[in-house]
Structure 1
Amino acid sequence: MQQRHALGNPPVIRFRVAGCALLLAHLALVACLTLRPRDVMWVTAPNLTPLAGIRADLALGWVEAVSRIGQGLLLLAPLGVLFPLVGGRLDVSPVASLLRTTAAAALVSLGIALLQTSVPGQVADVDALLLNTAGAAFAHIAVVPAGRLALRRRQGYGPRVPAAAQGRTPTIPRVGIAP
C-alpha cells in the first residue's frame, strides 16, 4: 500500500511539526533535570551493575522504591510516543516501530548517562538507562498502536485486501499481456 504522507498532506505535516516541537521541548526539560550540577558534599560511585540500584531501592521500602523506579520509568516515557509522531508513518510494522523507538530511547538515555559523567554531582547509573528505555517502550506499546489505528480510520485507510482476493488482473485483448 502506498504511503499517504506526501508533502501535499497537511494533517501529517502538522502532526510531524507538532511532534518535533514537543520532542525538542521534552529533551530540553530532560537536559535541565538531569544535567544540572548538584552541590553535594560527596558523590556515590557510578552504578555499573545492572539491577543493583533497583534492588537497593526495593530494600529502602515500597514507597521509596515506587517513587524512584517510577521517576526512572517516566523520565523518557514521552519519547515512546514522540519519536513515532515525528516519523509520521501510519502504515508501519508495530514490531519494527517498537524496536526503532526503543533503540532511539536507549541511545538518548545512554547519551544522558555519558554527559552526566562530566557534570559535578551527577553519576552514571545503568539502572536509569534500563528504566528510561523500559518507560519509553511501555509508553509506545500503550499509546502508539491505538493512535495509529485511529488516525488510519480517520484518514480513510481501509483494511488491507490480499492480492488473491482482488481478482484477476485485466489484460489488454490486442496484446494479451497485463499492463
Structure 2
Amino acid sequence: MQRQSNDGGGRPVRYRATGAVLLVVHLLFVGWFSLRSLDVPWVSAANLTPFAGIRADLSLSAPQAARRIGAGLGLLAPLGVLLPLADGRLHVSRLGSLVRTTTAGALFALALELLQTGVPGQVVDVDSVLLSATGVALAHVLVVPAARARLRRRRERVRSALPRPEESAQGPTPTIPRVGMAP
C-alpha cells in the first residue's frame, strides 16, 4: 500500500478517514433500506431479462418513470465518489479509477440483489443492478476527476509555499568534502 506524504497538514489521511466513515454509513443505510421486509399482498415475478423493467418504467407517466429510474440510479451513486475518496490516491488513471469503482459498485449491487432473495416482499431485478452500476459510473465521472484535480492543485500550492531546505534563511547547506584515509 502506498502512503501519501503529509505535506498538506494531514489532509490525505483525514480525507481517507472521512471517506471510509461516510462509505460505511452509506452502506449501512443501503443495507437497511434494501434488505428490510415489505408487507405486500402479492409479489411480482423476478425480472431476469435486462432492460425489461426499464422499458416498463418508461411506459408509465413521465414523473413516475423519472422517479423509478432516478431511484435506481441514485441508490448506490454515492459509491462513485466515496470509494475513490476512501482510497485516497490523487494520481490515478481516470479510466482505471472509473473501471474499478464501477465494478465495485456493480458487484455490491449484485450482492444486494442476491441477498434480497431471502427477504419477504423483495424480488430480484437485474435492471436494478444495471441502474445502480450506471449511477455509480455517472457520479464518478461527474465528481471525482474535478475533485482530484482540485486537490492536486491545492497540494501543489501547499508544497510551493513550504520553504525548501536549500532556501533556508541561513543560505544553502554547506557541503563537506570527503577526506581520505589517514596513515
The TM-score, its normalising length taken from structure 2, stands at 0.81
Q: How does 1:122-137 map to 2 (within 5 A)?
A: 122-137=122-137
Provide the C-alpha distance between the structure 1 equivalents of 2:140 and 2:25, rounded to a whole number of angstroms.
19
Provide the C-alpha distance between the structure 2 equivalents of 1:30 and 1:86, rounded to a whole number of angstroms.
18
Q: How does 1:129-148 map to 2 (within 5 A)?
A: 129-148=129-148
Q: Percent identity?
A: 55
User: Which amino acid is the alignment partner of residue 91 of structure 1?
Assistant: H
Q: What residue is the counterpart of 1:12 in the other structure?
A: 12
| Aligned-pair CA distance for 1:36 | 0.3
| Aligned-pair CA distance for 1:63 | 1.3
Structure 1 residues 111 and 4: alpha-carbon distance in aligned structure 2, compared to 1, 3 A threshold? closer
Q: What residue is the counterpart of 1:167 in the other structure?
A: none
User: Which amino acid is the alignment partner of residue 72 of structure 1?
Assistant: G
Provide the C-alpha distance between the structure 1 equivalents of 2:84 and 2:50, rounded to a whole number of angstroms.
28
Residues 61-104 of structure 1 show CA distances to partners (whole Å, capped at 9, x for unaligned) of 21111000000000001000000001100000000000000000
Q: What residue is the counterpart of 1:90 in the other structure?
A: 90
SS at structure 2 position matched to 1:155 = helix
Q: What residue is the counterpart of 1:100 in the other structure?
A: 100
Q: What residue is the counterpart of 2:152 in the other structure?
A: 152
| Larger displacement relative to structure 2 (59-68 or 126-135) | 59-68
SS at structure 1 position matched to 2:123 = coil
Q: Pick the structure with greater CA Rg.
A: 2
Moved segments of 4+, more than 6 Å: none
| Aligned-pair CA distance for 1:60 | 1.4
Provide the C-alpha distance between the structure 2 equivalents of 1:29 and 1:4, rounded to a whole number of angstroms.
30
Provide the C-alpha distance between the structure 1 equivalents of 2:5 and 2:121, rounded to a whole number of angstroms.
47
| Aligned-pair CA distance for 1:4 | 6.8
C-alpha RMSD over aligned residues: 1.5
SS at structure 2 position matched to 1:24 = helix
Residues 113-132 of structure 1 show CA distances to partners (whole Å, capped at 9, x for unaligned) of 00000000001100000000
Q: What residue is the counterpart of 1:55 in the other structure?
A: 55
Provide the C-alpha distance between the structure 2 equivalents of 1:5 and 1:76, rounded to a whole number of angstroms.
28
| Aligned-pair CA distance for 1:22 | 0.2
User: Which amino acid is the alignment partner of residue 148 of structure 1?
Assistant: R
User: Which amino acid is the alignment partner of residue 67 of structure 1?
Assistant: R
User: Which amino acid is the alignment partner of residue 109 of structure 1?
Assistant: A
Q: Which runs of 5+ in 1 are unaligned?
A: 158-179
The TM-score, its normalising length taken from structure 1, stands at 0.83
| Aligned-pair CA distance for 1:7 | 7.0
Residues 111-165 of structure 1 show CA distances to partners (whole Å, capped at 9, x for unaligned) of 10000000000011000000000001000000000000000000018xxxxxxxx
